[in-house]
Chain A
Amino acid sequence: MDWTGLAISILKALVVFFMVLNTVPVLVWAERRGSAFIQHRLGPNRVNIAGFTLFGLVQPLADVVKFMWKEDYVPAHADRTFYLLAPLLLLIPAATMFAVVPFADTLELGGRVITMQVANLNIGILFVFALASISVYGIALAGWSSNNKYSFLGAIRSGAQMISYELALGLSVLGILMIYASIELDGIVRAQGELLFGVLPKWGIVTQPLAFILFTVAIFAESNRLPFDLPEAESELVVGYHTEYSAMKFALFFMAEYMAMVTGAMLIVTLFFGGWQIPWVSSEALRAVVGPIPAVLLQLASFSAKLLFFLWLFIWVRWTLPRFRYDQLMDLGWKTVLPLAIANVFVTAIVLILIR
């Protein structure tokens, strides 16, 4: 048994998990402060530790304390088993999906090759989609077991929305899979390191611009955020499927939503923006100049910078666009995004045949 390898795997899993988990409070902070500045407000700036507010960054800590000490209430009319199961069904897929996302090129240390990825599964992107579809069960069960009409309406909407956009999500990625001839995310990122016509980085955004737009729209819909936040539409459904949840169980829903957002942004970066690739700088060149460990750190920084931009995009769009009406949502999904995705697959296939 390779104990060192196992230890490294566990360490990687822990580091990545806690990195993503800790992105959640930072994102909540960015969301609240960012929205405040967009709307000419100040946002949370009162909570402090010994006088230090850190621009309001202490606020999430206070929120966590609040979540922990609030009454953990289960409504009498709820279906207890499923009510308790639902947040887990939503959180576990959200916390597992980024296992296949590579953060940097492989690191060779003491004769051992370490992949900067929790698990290099050969099914790659399919693993992500499979887990993403499980999270629908979490929402549907939460709505159903709460035995509350608003929760139920939110769950139904969410189910319909996620099924509609999952098709578009899968189809929009097909073009990418055909071009880079790989289904593993690591292979896709590696293929994006090449240059197109010797000048442009061969990123997904360059080769598949339409797919990028469709994929981004579908990811927004999948993560239930504005302008597609019909499942939780505050003005209509209280907060939709998690209306009846309180304390830490509500926090789990909250975390799942933000982690799904992180995963979505990671996928956009990995598929369309070259993942950890630094434009015009190959891993070999980087390793030769700065050494193996700084090279990995630089690539990690590149990945993080791209990731942060897309996380900000999620927040930015939320405070810009109003919510779609339900029929508009279905119109967009079935009559626009899906046909365009199919057309994109055909055009990509034809072009690939012609090139070959």
Chain B
Amino acid sequence: MPVDPKHVKVLDAAVVLREGSTESWVERAYLLRVAQGLGVTLRNFIKNLARPSRLPTIEYPEEKRDYGYRFRGRHYLKKRPSGEPRCVACMMCATACPADCIYIVAGEHPDPAIEKYPVRFDIDGLRCIMCGYCVDACPEDAIAMTKEYEWASYNREDFIWDKEYLLTWRDEKIVEDGYQPYEGEIDKHRMSRGTL
């Protein structure tokens, strides 16, 4: 049976380590090392027992991790002053979406300056990969993301967010803005948001 020469070398090294070990019998007796190991664990135990508040654990429901200003959480649709969606149903976001989770049905808007509006605008939260490409693709600054990530639900229907929900949920729940359309230099963007 052919043997990989590389493998043989490794085995030889292991044998050499075992047979020709230079460790003294005290080290080979293993007990010294055991005692050292016990010392390490005891030191850590006492340190953490004395100051449990210093442990890196974040106790989730009460305490939340502070995510960055570009965190990509659940989307929302922005509104015009009139309360209508800013979206003009151009399908840019649906085209850019790699997960194919945005479904838009376009309708004719009475105002000729606007031309189109979304009759339906659904995002399937279970398909969405939270990449933020829809926000980048939007020419109208109509879709953006928040820091909201607590979406648990008992049924799949709750994860399909329709136009009404995307327009209104952010007003009903206090949530910080997350990933937003790029408006020039990053610093200017952050300054305008008060995060710098």
Name the residue of chain A whose CB is nearest to the CB of B29.
A336
Report B26 CB to chain A, min CB distance, Å: 14
List A288-337 residues whose CB lies under 8 Å from chain B: 316-317, 319-321
| Contact across chains for A42 and B59 when beta carbons are under 8 A apart | yes
Report A95 CB to chain B, min CB distance, Å: 30
Q: Please, how many angstroms separate the alpha-carbon atoms of A310 and B76 in the complex?
A: 59
Q: Which B residues lie within 8 Å of A287 (CB)?
A: none
Contact status of A37 and B59, CB under 8 A, knowing A316-B38, A321-B37: no
Digit string of A23-47 for contact with B (CB within 8 Å is 1, else 0)?
A: 0000000000010011111100000
Would you list 17 pairs from A and B whose C-beta atoms are within 8 A, ordered by A residue? A34-B45, A37-B44, A37-B48, A38-B41, A38-B45, A39-B44, A40-B44, A40-B48, A40-B55, A42-B52, A42-B55, A316-B42, A316-B45, A317-B34, A320-B37, A320-B41, A321-B34
B99 within 8 Å of A by Cβ? no
A342 within 8 Å of B by Cβ? no
Q: Please, how many angstroms separate the alpha-carbon atoms of A42 and B41 in the complex?
A: 15
B83 within 8 Å of A by Cβ? no
The interface on chain B, measured as residues whose beta carbon lies within 8 A of the other chain's beta carbons, has a size of 16
A74 within 8 Å of B by Cβ? no
Q: Which B residues lie within 8 Å of A316 (CB)?
A: 38, 41-42, 45
Report B37 CB to chain A, min CB distance, Å: 5
Q: Which B residues lie within 8 Å of A38 (CB)?
A: 41, 44-45, 48
Name the residue of chain A whose CB is nearest to the CB of B48.
A37
Report B134 CB to chain A, min CB distance, Å: 38
Q: Please, how many angstroms separate the alpha-carbon atoms of A317 and B31 in the complex?
A: 12
Extra inter-chain contacts (13) besides given A38-B48, A41-B55, A316-B42, CB under 8 Å: A34-B45, A37-B44, A37-B52, A38-B44, A39-B44, A40-B48, A40-B55, A41-B57, A42-B52, A316-B45, A319-B41, A320-B37, A320-B40
Q: Which B residues lie within 8 Å of A319 (CB)?
A: 41
B49 within 8 Å of A by Cβ? yes
Q: Please, how many angstroms separate the alpha-carbon atoms of A42 and B59 in the complex?
A: 9
Name the residue of chain A whose CB is nearest to the CB of B37.
A320
Q: Please, how many angstroms separate the alpha-carbon atoms of A38 and B40 in the complex?
A: 9
A213 within 8 Å of B by Cβ? yes
B56 within 8 Å of A by Cβ? yes
List B56-92 residues whose CB lies under 8 Å from chain A: 56-57, 59
Q: Which A residues lie within 8 Å of B48 (CB)?
A: 37-38, 40
Report B161 CB to chain A, min CB distance, Å: 31
Q: Please, how many angstroms separate the alpha-carbon atoms of A319 and B55 in the complex?
A: 18
Q: Which A residues lie within 8 Å of B55 (CB)?
A: 40-42
List A99-115 residues whose CB lies under 8 Å from chain B: none
Report B13 CB to chain A, min CB distance, Å: 18
| Contact across chains for B31 and A40 when beta carbons are under 8 A apart | no
List A124-141 residues whose CB lies under 8 Å from chain B: none
Name the residue of chain A whose CB is nearest to the CB of B42.
A316
Report B195 CB to chain A, min CB distance, Å: 30
5 smallest CB-CB distances across A and B, nearest first, come from A37-B48, A320-B41, A320-B37, A42-B57, A38-B41
Q: Please, how many angstroms separate the alpha-carbon atoms of A38 and B56 in the complex?
A: 13
Contact status of A320 and B38, CB under 8 A, knowing A37-B48, A37-B49, A38-B45: yes
Q: Please, how many angstroms separate the alpha-carbon atoms of A265 and B48 in the complex?
A: 26
Q: Which B residues lie within 8 Å of A42 (CB)?
A: 52, 55, 57, 59
| Contact across chains for A40 and B37 when beta carbons are under 8 A apart | no
| Contact across chains for A40 and B56 when beta carbons are under 8 A apart | yes
Q: Which A residues lie within 8 Å of B37 (CB)?
A: 320-321
Report B111 CB to chain A, min CB distance, Å: 55
Q: Please, how many angstroms separate the alpha-carbon atoms of A320 and B44 in the complex?
A: 11
Q: Please, how many angstroms separate the alpha-carbon atoms of A321 and B30 in the complex?
A: 11
Report A338 CB to chain B, min CB distance, Å: 15
Report B36 CB to chain A, min CB distance, Å: 10
Report A212 CB to chain B, min CB distance, Å: 12
Q: Which A residues lie within 8 Å of B41 (CB)?
A: 38, 316, 319-320
Name the residue of chain A whose CB is nearest to the CB of B34.
A321
Report B54 CB to chain A, min CB distance, Å: 9
Q: Which of A34, A37, A213 contacts B31 (CB 8 A)?
A: A213
Report B180 CB to chain A, min CB distance, Å: 35
Q: Please, how many angstroms separate the alpha-carbon atoms of A37 and B41 in the complex?
A: 9
Counting chain A CB atoms within 10 Å of each CB, the highest count among B37, B45, B55 belongs to B45
Q: Which A residues lie within 8 Å of B44 (CB)?
A: 37-40
Contact status of A317 and B57, CB under 8 A, knowing A37-B44, A38-B44, A213-B31: no
Q: Please, how many angstroms separate the alpha-carbon atoms of A38 and B41 in the complex?
A: 6
Digit string of B122-134 for contact with A (CB within 8 Å is 1, else 0)?
A: 0000000000000
Q: Which B residues lie within 8 Å of A317 (CB)?
A: 34, 38
Q: Please, how many angstroms separate the alpha-carbon atoms of A344 and B162 in the complex?
A: 80
Q: Please, how many angstroms separate the alpha-carbon atoms of A320 and B45 in the complex?
A: 11
Q: Which A residues lie within 8 Å of B34 (CB)?
A: 317, 320-321
